[in-house]
Each structure stands twice: as C-alpha cells, then as structure tokens.
Amino acid sequence: MKKELPSKVKNIGWALLFVGIVIYVIGYTVNPREAAFNNVIGFLFITSIAVGSIFLIALEYIAGAVWSVPMRRVNEFLGGLVLVAPLVALPMFFHLHDIFHWTDLGAVGTDELLKGKQPYLNLNFFIIRFVVVFALWNLFYWLFVRNSLKQDLSKDQKLTTQNIRLAAVFLPVFAITLTVTAVDWAMSLEPHWFSTILGVYYFSGTVLAAVATATYIIVKFHENGYLQNLKRDHFYSLGALLFAFINFWAYIAFSQFLLIWYANLPEETIWFMKRWEGGMQFVSVLLIIVHFAVPYFLLLPQEAKMNLKRLKFMSIWILFAHLLDLYWLVMPTYANGVTIGWMEIGFPVLIVGLIIVMLGYKMKRHNLVPVGDPKLERGLKFRL
C-alpha cells in the first residue's frame, strides 16, 4: 500500500518551497515589518491545516466514523505540518516589537488597559504559551500516528481503543490551545479590542481549511489511482462536511458582528470600523461573497458534493477564502487600507511547497491506507 508521489510532483514541491523561502528572506530584508505581518498570516494558515487535520483524526475516533477510515492517512500526513509550523513562526520572534503593540513597555506604562492585561500579555508568558501549545499538539499527533502505524503491522484492535481515549482527552485540550493561539496571534494584534467568540471563529476556518486541503488531495489521489476504492458516497461525505463548515463559519462570523454591532461599545466597534475604511470595506464585502455566498450555492446541490471537478475547484476556492479571511483579520493592524504585493504571494507558495514535500516524505515511508484498522472494510463498503 506504499505509493510514492511522482518525481515531477516532488520536484514541483521542492521548487515551490525554495521560491517561498527566497521571497521570505527578501521580504524580511526589504521590509521586515510588512514581512512579519505576512508571516503571521502564513503561520495561522499552516497551523489551521496542521491542527485541523489532527482534529479530524480525533473526531473520527471519538465519533466512531467508518466512512473516513480509508482516507484517514491523508489527515495523518497533513498533521505532520505541526512539526514545521513553529519553524514558520520562528522569524516573527525576532520582530515581535514590529507586530505587537503590547511589547512596547513604554506604551504599556501609560495605558491603563494594557497594564491590566500585562499579566497575560507579556513576552515571557507569550513564549511559554507558544512552546506549551505546540508541545501538546506534537505530543498528541505523535501518539495518534504511532498507534495508527503500529496497527498496520499488528492489526491490534486495542490500538483503536487507545486512540479513542486519546481523542477524548485531546478535544478539550484542542479547544483551549486553539483559542490561545487565536488570542495570541490574532486578537492581541489590537490589544484594546476583545471578542469572546474569536476562538470559535478561528476554529471554524481551521477545520474548513483542513477539510478542503484533505479533500483536494484525496480527489487527486483517487483520480491518479492511489485511492481507487473510494465511492461517490465517500466524496459526498467530504462535500457535505465542507458545506457544513461553510455555514458554521458564516454563522459564527455573523454572530460576532451582530453582538458587537448591537452592544455598540467604542472599544469593540473600532475593530470593525478599521475594516470599513481605506479600501478594506471592499475586502470585507468580498470576504462575504468568497467565503460564504459562492461556496454555499456551488455546494448546495446534492450532485455537486459528488462531482470530483467541483470538489477540487471548491477546495482551492475555500483555501483562498481562508487566506483572505486571515488577511482581513491581520493586515488592518499593519496599515490603514489594502496592501497587496509580492510578499502576499510568498507565504502561500511556501506552504504549498511544504505540503507537497511533507506528503512525499510521509508516503515514501508509510502506507497510504490504514490497513490494520478494524473499521477499514466497513469504511470501503460505506454507503449512505
């Protein structure tokens, strides 16, 4: 069941990775502050795919799902990005003063609100949280995948039971750590603003990005003879999951806006006002269209959820929408108005290269299908 990526695809991955790193380095040389803000977007994007994939693994185990078993290993491979996400974040730690206003102790000393938040928003605790969060994610990823790969050889059903128990522990840990990540890297960009729903907002985009990435890869594998036994029902389930989280993202986004609009508190509304000036109002409207309206109507028909071309197109579309969403969250802190240039291209290119290289590395060493999973046969025979 080990099937390697074609050499051509691997070479493309390495080329994209190289180009992304070059743009990365040039960006930090030419304009470190703008590069750092783009780095925040790139970091949150790759974290979405990595941790979202681990969440999907845990969700399968805790829910006892069978339809996703034949394709679960794709999520296990993508979850490996959690190992490299801290490396993507590393350059930002040399430019935290360019990104976060609360790192300026002089400004904190004259601001009562920032003084009140200083026990949480301080450099040492920020770094500790980052290390602890990624240590936990990497630990759970290693445990899930270790048991899954061991099961390929032993066929021991007890390993499935162990992963179910792990999933039960991981899910609350995931909820807390993902919220911490959203607060630290998105909300604290503007430390006077706060939203109790931002963690859930980032969660909705995280899962959507992970499902979209997995869907595109699974469809491509199926078309190229890697996952031949998948049926229309499997693809319908992937399409339905995409459709569900598109609606969930829209619900959470509207809820956040409505609560802040209704309360009409200046310290909250100013955040949305910054996204309604200097051209950002067009990005705000575009986000509604790109992230909700278009995918909603294109995935609404039942047949669309089983159309492989439609699924591939919508997966790429949704990943672009998530990138736009992160841009909308992050860049208004950098500058008033829309800033689009070559730097905005660099990190997506780097991440695509990382995904291809990661897949190539994992596929060379491990089975593409979890052949020892006791639910595999039922998963292959799955019908709605």
Per-residue model confidence (pLDDT) at position 325: 97
Cα→Cα distances 246→202, 209, 257, 346, Å: 13, 10, 17, 26
Q: Which pLDDT tens digit goes with each residue over 229-259?
A: 899 999 999 999 999 999 999 999 999 999 9
Whole-number percent of the chain with pLDDT over 90: 83
Residue 49 clears pLDDT 80, i.e. is over it: yes
**pLDDT at residue 80 above 80?**
yes
Tens digit of each residue's pLDDT (9 = 90 or more) over 96-118: 999 999 998 888 888 888 899 99
The packing angle between helices 32-63 and 198-223, to 10°, is: 80
Residue identified by tokens 């729903």 is 197
pLDDT in tens, 181-228: 999 999 999 998 888 899 999 999 999 999 999 999 999 999 998 988
Residue-level pLDDT at 45: 97
- By the 10 Å C-beta count (0-12 exposed, 13-18 middle, 19+ buried), 291 is classed as buried
pLDDT at 1: 62
Domain boundaries, the chain: 7-380
Res 70 pLDDT > 90: yes
Measuring CA to CA, how many Å separate 35 from each of 128, 160, 193, 275, 326?
24, 43, 23, 20, 15
For position 109, what pLDDT does the model report? 86
Nearest 5°: the CA angle 178, 183, 185 is: 90
Using one digit for the tens of pLDDT, what is the confidence trace for 57-69? 999 999 999 999 9
CA–CA separation, 218 vs 216, rounded Å? 6
pLDDT over 90 (residue 338): no
* Helix (H), strand (E) counts: the chain: 17, 0
CA neighbours closer than 13 Å in the CB half-sphere of residue 245? 26
The residues near 314 (Cβ < 8 Å, ≥ 6 apart) are 212, 239, 242, 295, 298, 299
Mean pLDDT over residues 342-365, rounded? 92
- Average pLDDT of the chain to the nearest whole number: 94
**What is the C-alpha to C-alpha distance for residues 293 and 296, in angstroms, rounded to an integer?**
5
Tokens encoding 219? 């469809």
* pLDDT class of 278 with cuts at 50, 70, 90: confident
Q: Nearest to residue 315, comparing CAs of 135, 136, 65, 74?
A: 74
